[in-house]
Amino acid sequence: MKKALITGVNGQDGSFLSDFLLKKGYEVHGIIRRSSSFNTSRIEHLYVEELKSSDNFYIHYGDMTDTSNIIRLISEIKPDEIYNLAAMSHVKVSFETPEYTADVDGIGTLRILEAVRILGLEKKTRIYQASTSELYGKVQEVPQRETTPFYPRSPYGVAKLYGYWITKNYRESYDMFAVNGILFNHESERRGETFVTRKITMAVARIANGKQNKILLGNLDAKRDWGYAKDYVECMWLILQHDTPEDFVIATGEMHTVREFATLAFKHAGIEVEWQGEGIDEKGINARTGEVIVEVNPEYFRLAEVEQLLGDPSKAKKLLGWNPTSTSFEELVEIMVTHDCNLLKEEKSAITEY
């Protein structure tokens, strides 16, 4: 039985990857940070006794800033595969916590690579580093591919740039199977509530049910390549099964604006949006009631905006046989809106029963 170690296992990608690997017959070990509040809702179905769906899932406490802890865990588990998904991944917050972001996202990657090397596991353990489309930042060509020059525009992107290059350096210096998956935006019903896509779908559910009047958003013209996280974790696994260690762009090859995402989300909830005005004065109007349901708030603008990200998944399609659009953009938005509408109904039901 293969063993996999996942950092950031309680995040969106970590939870989907755990589900995927367990179905593949893996023994899965996940690292989470100790917290005074519960932060494991995405993986409770894997370890809570009454909900448990697998006996091959194990949780360990750890932190990407703790070198001795990382070395100890890798030494004890001796994993066949490591998926480094842990990160301070919120771009805007990275401007407020740049040093911490660098330590976790940049040096944290080095700690894992060094642990594998020090323990003599270079030939046994394959390492997947979660890189990001934010590496491209101020894009130098469209679409972005494996050979496109990087130009990160945030402390998060810069920290991930170090993670990317140190992974590549260890691969070339120590002949390790260490690879980067350059993931473009990938969303799901498990996305954190502070990310714009989930913020939109949750607000749409509340507005549709009379629980909220409107939503405040930042740059409506920002363009992103949005895919479904559940599809993307399959590509992570495929990258580590490839015969040779190579870096891959993981994207859909399609681009949509924040405005398009919001329009489609409202449509799935039965609300037609009409857009009026420009720039910070632009508003989304409920076509049926005439009420303002979307407004722009400059506070949500980035200090250094990334205007457009569009990935070219040709290499992954050709060499890995991966289908980047098995879940379409429209299906992704529908999945998220439906989930949040149902979540709201469950909350109302629980209150009624209480």
Whether 156 is catalytic: yes
Q: Is the dihedral of CA 72, 78, 79, 83 positive or negative?
A: positive
Alpha carbons 118 and 139: distance in angstroms, whole number: 37
| Dihedral (Cα; 321, 231, 62, 54), 10-degree rounding | -100
What lies within 8 Å, CB to CB, of 5 at 6+ separation is 29, 30, 31, 73, 74, 77, 79, 81, 82, 83
Q: Which of 156, 164, 228, 232 is catalytic?
A: 156
Q: Which of 7, 101, 125, 132 is catalytic?
A: 132
Q: Which of 27, 101, 109, 134 is catalytic?
A: 134
Q: Residue 267's closest CA among 212, 327, 336? A: 336
User: For residues 26 and 3, is the Cβ–Cβ distance under 8 A?
Assistant: yes
Alpha carbons 59 and 140: distance in angstroms, whole number: 41
Whether 81 is catalytic: no
Whether 134 is catalytic: yes
Peptide bond into 152 cis (omega under 30): no
Q: Which residues are annotated as catalytic?
A: 132, 134, 156
